[in-house]
Structure 1
Amino acid sequence: MDIQAELIEMIDDLFMEDISDIMDEDLYNAGILDSMGTVELIVAMEEKFGIKVPVSELGRDDWNTGNKIVAGIKGLKNA
């Protein structure tokens, strides 16, 4: 399974939301993510993908869509 598919599944499991058709939509504006949800998602991503998300990477505008989150995960895995 690729990172995008795993992220979609993870968000569906955590928040019961299918984001597969809204990968470029702001997940905060859509009501899918909030501050607590962000923490839950980061913990799950760190465990699933074996990455560490630095606090400096947590700008809301940098991780607010599915596609941006996938790009962030890829960047951290390749760092």
Structure 2
Amino acid sequence: MVANALDNIFSKGDAIAIDMPMTVTAVVIYLAIVLAGFVVVSIADSFAAQEIAVRLRVSNAKAIFTQDSIVRGGRRFPLYR
């Protein structure tokens, strides 16, 4: 479903970024991007906002998959404060 959705929105070869921890969901998204014929831009979920922005600019990513918070050590840290 993810691959089909991407295929309906973007052009083959476009860069799509992932800024998520390594979870089953992130792996499904990664594989869907590859299956649909797009370029994956992997961004470590520990990067600061400025570093994420640099990678998005350099890669010319058309979209990004992310989440609104990260859980570390049992604590939830919001990403968009």
Q: TM-score, normalised by structure 2?
A: 0.26
Task: Considering fraction of residues, name the structure with more helix.
Answer: 1
Q: TM-score, normalised by structure 1?
A: 0.26
Task: Considering fraction of residues, name the structure with more strand.
Answer: 2
Greater relative contact order: 1 or 2 (C-alpha under 8 angstroms, separation 6 or more)? 1
* Higher radius of gyration, 1 or 2: 2
